[in-house]
Amino acid sequence: MEPADTPAGSGHRPMRMCVVCRQRFYKDELLRFVCPVHGELTLTADSTGKLPGRGFYLCRDAACRNRFERFKGWQKKCKGVGNVH
Grouping H, G, I as helix, E, B as strand and the rest as coil, residue 60 is coil
**According to the model, what pLDDT value does residue 23 have?**
97
pLDDT digits (tens, 9 = 90+) for 3-13: 555 555 678 99
**According to the model, what pLDDT value does residue 49 have?**
85
Q: Please indicate, yes or no, whether the overall pTM of this predicted structure exceeds 0.75.
A: no
What are the Cα distances from residue 10, in Å, to 5, 29, 76? 11, 18, 36
Grouping H, G, I as helix, E, B as strand and the rest as coil, residue 45 is strand
Would you say residue 81 has pLDDT above 80?
no
H helix runs in 16-61, sequence order = none
pLDDT digits (tens, 9 = 90+) for 21-57: 999 999 999 999 998 877 677 788 999 888 888 889 9
Residue 1 banded pLDDT, cuts 50, 70, 90: very low
